[in-house]
Chains A and B, each alone.
Chain A
Amino acid sequence: MKLSMSPRVKRSILCWLLLLPLVVVILFPFGVMFVTALRPRDELFVFPPTWAFSRFVWTNITEMWEKVNFGTALLNSIYVSVSSTLLALLFGIPAAYALSRFRFPGKGLYRQFLLVTQMMSPIVLVLGLFRLMVVFGLVNSPNSLVFTYAAFNLAFTIWMLQSYFNTIPHELEEAAWIDGASAFVSITRIFLPLAVPAMVVTAIFTFINSWNEFVLALTMLRESDSYTLPVMVFAQVAGRYQIEWHHVMAATLMATVPVAVVFSWLQRYLIRGMALGAVK
């Protein structure tokens, strides 16, 4: 066998070596989460710490589920994330379409305004938002998060969709008009089906942002029945005499599962949608 490698193989090995530290940084917390979630309670605090443990304790998860009311928090999280994603798309699609297709006064200014809103940290606005929700009577309601998450993700949604919409040729809609389609029909039957990849990518980002958001949720939600997953996990750690780390980690492990599912499910659409592309 020849020992020499092609430059391509060498280059990819080099790339992997350079990326390795990054992979470790990303995977380490997952590793800790995984082994802590599934090890027996009496093996939690051993010194020196080890990765290995005597047996998998799957009951950690079922115990945790009952004890911390995980199901309710999961449903809350799903409700908030799905609703805010849909809401962001509902307003983002028409806005992005208008930016991509129409000329109107103040268009550049509007785009800049959207960008500027992205530069503000939500934490700065938390107090104001809380008072707003008090006025609307939405404190402690997951709907307060639906609205705020949708609003915070809207700018990103519009930018993302607009840049993709710009790549869909005008001629396709024009062809539809000449074929006898109204503006509405040409958008729903020609334009939107072609924009599916962009909508999927945007939906994934908005969903994950909403799923992981913590500060606003902690501020708005007062009672454990309305907690979303991040707040629920936090509640297992904060202000307790005894922290059940194996339950905390079981909860975080379970909280990552839906995101992974959503991502892998939508990814198929993503690839299919991208293959569709090409007009010419």
Chain B
Amino acid sequence: MASVDIQGVTKDYGAVKVIRGVDISIADEEFVVLVGPSGCGKSTLLRMIAGLETISGGEIRIGGRIINDIPAKSRDTAMVFQSYALYPHMSVFDNMAFSLKLRKMPKAEIEAKVHAAAGILNLMDYLGRSPRQLSGGQRQRVAMGRALVRAPQVFLFDEPLSNLDAKLRVQMRTEIKALHQRLRTTIVYVTHDQIEAMTLADRIVVMHDGIVEQIGAPLDLYDNPANMFVAGFIGSPAMNFVPGTLRREAGKVWLDAAGNTRIPLPARVGGENGRKVALGLRPEHFTLGGGDDSVEATVEVVEPTGAQIEVFATLAGQQICTVFNERHPFRPGERIRMRPSADKLHLFDAETRARILPGAH
């Protein structure tokens, strides 16, 4: 087990810069999730840690040791691939024992380690089978078992759950988290699924276009997104953005949005009068009801999910999504009044897209 330090790392293929200077410090025993849309460089970064891609600039250290020029086989990492990459011509046992055999470990010891890992992952009955005789979830477990037997310094996961169906994905997610709580190995986990990131991570690294947008604990990112990208990426359904002009007059603050819509804002929000801003409102931060601080919206589509009702509505010419816990009989075309929670809304600069902190005029 070891820490991973990524300092000023860049990656370019000729003129194309895939990673443009990334700094991340991952503590020992930490579970860090790299998340971002496809093409943001998260998988490339993981492959650079593993030694499958060269490092164009900067340094990566594992346990204090610079590994830039150390080949993959000597880095003592273990990786779980999206495609599992199980050796199809070997049995489950041999798949898991391969790395130990390469280290010339005594047979009895190999057997003990493989059985121990298989026990943890409920694979004892499948050790003699070949990968093609296994279901998706079982293959996923074998891939993890192959990583587990090695007791490596760092576990690397590259979108390991993407090939599983929704139900199994949730189940495996829980298993991975339980496994980390039990083994306390440093884990770097790549996914494009922000729910996976939120549920698994000690800390999330949000990446976009080859740079780190924000690093933080899941709920911290959710509550205090640094910019519109992180705000829109973390949380499902995604945050609504209403563009407009900030008005500050006689102690009152409001947003002038399209179609003469006036959205009242609490006095604590930052930003000076006349600034072009985007108001960020999470779907779950609305309550039904009128009043001075309420806004009017037109219901477009209603999607009950059971626990909640998702309502897609038009507010200031903008389609927004809201989520309500109460069982109000929403009808398409209906005009509803609702109040955004004053303490949960976010204001972003329309140009820099960075968050305007409360009180920063």
Chain A residues lying within 8 Å of B73, measured Cβ to Cβ, are 177-182
B76 vs chain A, min Cβ distance (A): 9
B78: nearest residue on chain A (CB-CB)? Answer: A178
Q: What is the predominant secondary structure among interface residues of chain A facing chain B?
A: helix
A-B contact pairs, 28 of them (CB 8 A): A171-B81, A172-B87, A174-B72, A174-B85, A175-B79, A175-B146, A176-B98, A177-B72, A177-B73, A178-B75, A178-B79, A179-B102, A179-B146, A179-B150, A180-B99, A181-B73, A182-B73, A185-B102, A190-B87, A193-B89, A276-B88, A276-B89, A276-B132, A279-B84, A279-B85, A279-B86, A280-B83, A280-B163
Nearest CB of chain A from residue B299's CB, rounded to whole Å: 43
Q: Does B103 contact A (CB under 8 A)?
A: yes
Q: How far is the CB of A270 from chain B (nearest CB, A)?
A: 15
Chain B residue nearest to A273 (CB atoms) is B89
Q: Answer yes or no: A48 CB below 8 A from chain B CBs.
A: no
Q: Say how far B84's CB is from chain A's closest CB, in angstroms.
A: 7
Collect the chain B residues with CB atoms within 8 Å of residue A185's CB.
102
Nearest neighbor of A277 in chain B, beta-carbon distance: B88
Q: Size class of B's contact patch?
A: 20 to 34
CB neighbours (8 Å) of B132 from chain A are 276, 278
Residues of B within 8 A of A (CB): 50-52, 71-75, 77-79, 81, 83-89, 98-99, 102-103, 132, 139, 146, 150, 163
Q: CA A277 – CA B99 in complex, angstroms?
A: 22
- Give the distance in Å from the alpha carbon of A180 to the alpha carbon of B153 in the complex: 13
A169 within 8 A of B: yes
* Given known A-B contacts A171-B83, A280-B83, A178 and B88 have beta carbons under 8 A apart: no
A130→B202 CA distance, assembly (Å): 74
Interface mask (A246-280 → B, CB under 8 Å = 1, otherwise 0): 00000000000000000000000000000011111
Do residues B79 and A279 form an inter-chain contact, with CB atoms below 8 A? no
In the complex, the answer to whether A177 meets B102 with C-beta atoms within 8 Å is no
In angstroms, how far is the closest chain B Cβ from the Cβ of A175? Answer: 4
A193-B89, A194-B88, A278-B88 known; A175+B81 contact, CB < 8 A: yes
Contact between A169 and B83, CB atoms less than 8 A apart: yes
**Would you give the shortest CB distance from B92 to chain A, in whole angstroms?**
14
What's the nearest-Cβ distance from chain A to residue B219, in Å?
33
**With a CB–CB cut-off of 8 A, which chain A residues contact B86?**
279
| Cα distance, A185 to B85, chains bound together (Å) | 16
| Number of chain A residues whose Cβ lies closer than 8 Å to a Cβ of chain B | 21
A174-B52, A178-B78 given; A279·B88 CB < 8 A: yes
Which residue of chain A lies nearest to B52 when distances are taken between CB atoms in the complex? A174
Q: In the complex, what residues of B have CB within 8 A of residue A277's CB? A: 88
Q: How far is the CB of A264 from chain B (nearest CB, A)?
A: 23
- Note all chain B residues with C-beta closer than 8 A to A169: 83, 85
Contact yes or no, A178 B87, CB < 8 A: no
Q: Are A178 and B51 in contact (CB under 8 A)?
A: yes
Closest to A171 in B: B85
Q: With contacts defined as CB atoms under 8 Å apart, how many contacts are there between chain A and chain B in the complex?
A: 71
Within the complex, what minimum Cβ distance (angstroms) separates A140 from chain B?
A: 44
Across the interface, name the chain B residue whose C-beta is closest to A185. Answer: B102
Q: How far is the CA of A175 from the CA of B99 in the complex (A)?
A: 10
A280–B138 CA distance with the chains assembled, in angstroms: 11
Residue of A nearest to B130 (CB): A276
Judging by beta carbons under 8 Å apart, are B89 and A194 in contact? Answer: yes
- What is the bound-complex CA distance between A276 and B79, given in angstroms? 23
Within 18-62 of A, Cβ neighbours of B (below 8 Å) are at none
Q: How far is it, in angstroms, between the C-alpha of A171 and the C-alpha of B87 when the chains are bound?
A: 10
CA distance A176 to B87 in the complex (A): 9
CA distance A280 to B163 in the complex (A): 9
**Docked pose: A179 CA to B71 CA in angstroms:** 12
A84 to B146, CA, bound (A): 41
Q: A178 to B50, Cβ gap below 8 A? A: yes
Task: Please name the residue on chain A nearest to B152 by beta carbon.
Answer: A178
**Nearest residue, chain A, Cβ from B158:** A171
Question: In the complex, what's the smallest C-beta–C-beta distance from B164 to chain A, in angstroms?
Answer: 11
Cα separation A279 to B88 with both chains bound (whole Å) = 6
Point out which of B52, B77, B163 has the most chain A C-beta atoms below 10 A from its C-beta.
B52
A193 vs B90: C-alpha distance when bound (angstroms): 10
Kindly list chain A residues whose C-beta atoms are within 8 Å of the C-beta of B72. 174, 177-178
Across the two chains, which residue of chain B brings its CB closest to A175?
A: B85
User: Across the two chains, which residue of chain B brings its CB closest to A177?
Assistant: B72
Interface mask (A189-200 → B, CB under 8 Å = 1, otherwise 0): 010011000000
A276 to B86 Cα, complex, angstroms: 12
Q: Which of A172, A181, A194, A276 contacts B102 (CB 8 A)?
A: A181
> Contact between B85 and A172 (Cβ–Cβ < 8 Å)?
yes
Given contacts A180-B103, A185-B102, A276-B89, 7 further A-B contacts (CB under 8 A): A171-B81, A178-B50, A178-B78, A179-B73, A179-B150, A277-B88, A278-B88
Contacts of A172 in B (CB 8 A): 85, 87-88
B52 touches A177 (CB 8 A): yes
Residues of A within 8 A of B89 (CB): 193-194, 276
- Least CB distance, B133 to chain A, in whole angstroms: 11
A residues in contact with B75, CB < 8 Å: 178
Enumerate chain A residues within 8 angstroms of B146, measured Cβ to Cβ.
175, 179
C-alpha spacing A269/B87, complex, angstroms: 19
Residues of B within 8 A of A182 (CB): 73
> In the complex, what distance in Å separates the CA atom of A175 from the CA atom of B79?
7
